[in-house]
Structure 1
Amino acid sequence: MKSKKRLGLYFSALLVILLVGIVLKNVFIKEATVNPMVEKEDGTKHLVFDTKLTRLDESTTTLKEYNGKVLIVNFWASWCEPCQEEAPDLRDFYNNKPENVELLAINATSHDSRENAIKFQESYNLSFPIFLDLDNTLQKAFEVLAYPTTFIFDSKGILKYTIKGQINQQELNNYIDQLY
C-alpha cells in the first residue's frame, strides 16, 4: 500500500514538473517570437522589422535588411498551380524592378518542404529572396488562407495592398506606380 502511495506521489510530482516546464517554454517562446505585422490604433497594419526570416539555406536575417524599401511579400507553395503560373511573372518583375522595391517570397514550408522550394526556385530560375515558413508563424500572422497571396508595403512598412490569388508583372507595376 505504501509503495502505491509513493508511486502516486512520484507520478504527481512528475506531472507538476512537466506542466511547469510547458508553461515556462510557452512564456519564453512567446517572448522570443515577434509578430511580423501589427495593427495600429488607426487601423493601419505595419511590418515589424525585427521579424526573423529563414532563407532557403536555413541562414537567418530580419526584415530590417529591407527597411526603407517598398516590399512585396508573396506567400506560395510549390504544389500550387496558380503559384507555378505566376512564377515567371514574378521573375520578370524582379529582374526589371525599381531599385527601391524588393520582392520577398515566403514558402508555405509547413505545408510544403524546403526541398520542393529549392526545386521550384531552380526550375523557374528565380533570383529573388525566398524564405521558409517552417512553423506556419508568418502565414498565421499575415492571415494567409490560400496561395498565392501577395502583400505590398510602402517604404515605411505600412500595408497598402493585399492580393489574394495570382498576380502578374503588369499588375505589380501598377500597384507600385500607385504608391508614388
Structure 2
Amino acid sequence: MFKKVLGISVMIVLFFILITNIFEQGNTNEISNEIDVTGDTSVEGASISPIESAGIESGELAPDFELETVSGEVAKLSDYRGKKVFLNFWYTYCPPCKEEMPDMQAFYEEYQEEVEIIAVNLTEMENKKQDVYDYIDQFGYTYTIPLDQKGIVSDDYKVVAAPITYFIGTDGVVQQPRKIGPMTYEFMVEMAEELN
C-alpha cells in the first residue's frame, strides 16, 4: 500500500512540474537564444559539451604523438617543429570531412613548403581500416595521413566532432582556436597567415 501511495505522489509531483514548465514557457514574450549564445553568425554548428571536452586551447603546447601513416611511415608531431601545422581529424563516411578534403589537397599543393597538413584518421570510427586506404587511393590525397587506430590521439585532443582542425605554430604551440567543421581553401590561407 505504501508503494502505491509513494508512486502516486511522485506522479503528482512530476505532473505539477510539467504543468508549471509549460505555463512558464507560454508566458514569456522574449525570444531566447538557447542554441547560439555567442551571437557569432558565422557558426556552422556546435554542441554543448562539458568543460573537460573543450579541447586544447590557444597558447597550449600541442600534445606530441607518434602514429603510423597510410603510406607505412611513422608521423611524429614533434618532428614538424619549425613548420606550421594544420592538425586535422576526420573519417571516411563524414560528409563535412569529405567536403573539405579537396580544398585541403589544393592548399597543400600550394603551401606545403610553409604548412604541413596532418590529417589524422579516426580509424576506430571506420567500418574497416581498408576503407581509409581505398578512400585515399580513390582521391589521391598526398598530405600526411596518420591512423589513430586506438583513439589515443583523438582522446588527447578531446575530439568530439569531425572534422576538427588545430592550428599549430612553428613553436609547437596551438596558436589559433580550433575549427570544428569543414575548412575552405580561403580559410586555410587566412590561418596560414595568422600562424608564426
Q: What is the TM-score when the length of structure 1 is the normalising length?
A: 0.71
Q: Within 2, Cα distance between the matches of 1:179 and 1:55?
A: 25
Report what 2:79 is aligned to. 65
SS class of match (1:86): helix
Report what 1:15 is aligned to. none
SS class of match (1:127): coil
Choose from 103, 106, 109 the match for 1:89: 103
Is residue 2:163 matched to residue 1:163? Answer: no
Q: State the identity %.
A: 24
Per-residue deviation, residues 43-78 of structure 1 (Å, max 9, x unmatched) = 8311244x2121114442422321111010110000
Choose from 122, 135, 139 the match for 1:124: 139
Report what 2:116 is aligned to. 102
CA-CA distance at 1:106 after TM superposition: 0.3
CA-CA distance at 1:132 after TM superposition: 0.3
- Contact 1:56/1:114 (8 A) holds in 2: no
SS class of match (2:131): helix
Aligned residues: 140
Structure (1/2) with the larger strand percentage: 1
Q: Within 1, Cα distance between the matches of 2:123 and 2:103?
A: 22
Written as runs of structure 1 = structure 2, the 5 A alignment for 1:1-180 is: 44-49=59-64, 51-97=65-111, 99-112=113-126, 113-161=128-176, 162-180=178-196
Query: Pairwise CA RMSD of aligned residues?
Result: 2.1
Per-residue deviation, residues 144-170 of structure 1 (Å, max 9, x unmatched) = 111100111010011022000010111
Note closer, same or farther for the CA distance 1:134–1:80 as it changes in structure 2 (3 Å cut).
same
- Unaligned segments of structure 2, at least 5 residues: 1-54
Q: Which has the larger radius of gyration?
A: 2
Q: What is the TM-score when the length of structure 2 is the normalising length?
A: 0.66
SS class of match (2:165): strand
Q: Within 2, Cα distance between the matches of 1:154 and 1:139?
A: 19
Report what 1:29 is aligned to. none
- Unaligned segments of structure 1, at least 5 residues: 1-37
Note closer, same or farther for the CA distance 1:170–1:39 as it changes in structure 2 (3 Å cut).
closer
Q: Within 2, Cα distance between the matches of 1:178 and 1:64?
A: 20
Relative CO higher for 1 or 2, CA cutoff 8 Å, sep ≥ 6? 2
Which consecutive aligned stretches of 4+ in structure 1 deviate over 4 angstroms post-superposition? Answer: none
Per-residue deviation, residues 105-157 of structure 1 (Å, max 9, x unmatched) = 10000111321111121222101010000100011111111110011101001
- Choose 118-127 or 136-145, whichever is displaced more: 118-127
Structure (1/2) with the larger helix percentage: 1
What is the one-letter code of the residue matched to 1:77?
Y
What is the one-letter code of the residue matched to 1:164?
I
